[in-house]
Chains A and B, each alone.
Chain A
């Protein structure tokens, strides 16, 4: 009986969400009818179940029939996840651009017209870019996946015993986590890409008078690319999780590869020209936040040096843990 549930699960997983429950119910009825006709009054054996499932054909083929023809850039298997991710990305990008506009206007009300032009420009360039990259990110695996299946002919040899068990609770990936992750990465990308000037300590002397940036403005252009790469990988990772729905060795492997590349990039950043603003404390002193040579200045200096170092360390630890965690969860039956 377990086999029947696995079969139904395998079929309905590949079908659009709204139809799943109904098709599952109908399919269950059908299988029971077919079993009943096959065995008559004697007890149903596992062999009977297998034969009935074989008669119905592979879950993939049956699901294909339910879905109709396969002509699409992003198929029904991925489409739900695609829509979710697309909505998240667009809403995040749009709202961040809005927030940036509001903040800029509050800080610099005189230049509202300039800020507004900025807003329009970044909306016109940012939104289609977000749309295009998200679509591309989903179309690529769809294309590769379809291509691979035609090549390997998985369906040629199939037996119901091949059906994957329904994943354990602990292996399942909650949609909410992935969505939160994607929003987090997207927010950082947009903030860093469009308004790094505001990423620092805000100085108020009779109103807003400037920002002491955290980052080194001279090397920032180069590092922006690295940062986008790391956070972009983060988004890809979350998308993979969202699509997979459960931890597998394959997913953990992808996570490991992406995290390893991110780590390599971080090490490059640590060893390369200064990433953080080298004059941070001096500029703070000049802005009048602290007095040079005072005790507060020393403490600030220490905190600044330590925290900039530890941020990298924590990032690396986080990446390692993320990869290890994936494998641990994938191991759970």
Chain B
């Protein structure tokens, strides 16, 4: 039983890794700082640990998908991230890809029984 959970954990981790990126990009049409993004995504049902999100934001910024800016006017200095021009177009392409993945997978999962019948 715990063996199954272990497998599930590992697979879910891999699965989430990519989807989190889409989730993050989707929320950054307006500038956000790391922790506000954690809360925002959590409210929408996407759980992401800060320890994962913060390095991810930095990586996306380094790749040029995000722009960042420090806001030092508030009591606590915060680094705000925002989609760059490249990030915007990459996000749009990514959404298309994602939808096609969902469609294909749905198709595979829903039609599993049919195929088996057909093979008989």
List A residues at the B interface (Cβ < 8 Å).
19, 22-23, 25-27, 29-30, 32-34, 37, 55-57, 61-62, 65-66, 68
Contact = CB atoms under 8 A, between A and B. Distances in A.
A29 B36 CA distance: 11
A33 B55 CA distance: 17
Contact of A25 (B49, B58, B59, B77): B77
Given A26-B79, A55-B49, A33 B54 contact: no
Contact of A57 (B39, B51, B76): B51
A34 B50 CA distance: 9
Contact of A30 (B50, B58, B70): B50
Given A22-B79, A55-B51, A68-B59, 10 more contacts: A23-B58, A26-B79, A29-B35, A29-B76, A29-B77, A29-B78, A30-B34, A30-B35, A30-B50, A55-B49
Interface of B: 33-35, 39, 49-52, 54-55, 58-59, 70, 76-79
B20 to A, nearest CB: 12
A34 B78 CA distance: 13
The 3 closest A-B pairs by CB, nearest first: A65-B55, A33-B35, A66-B55
Interface of A is mostly: helix
Contacts of A29: 33-35, 76-79
B51 A56 contact: yes
Interface of B is mostly: helix
Contacts of A61: 51
Most chain A C-beta atoms within 10 Å of own C-beta, residue among B49, B54, B59, B78: B54
A66 B35 contact: no
Nearest to B72: A25
Contacts of B55: 62, 65-66
Contacts of A19: 58
A253 B36 CA distance: 48
Given A29-B33, A30-B34, A30-B35, A65 B76 contact: no
Contacts of A22: 79
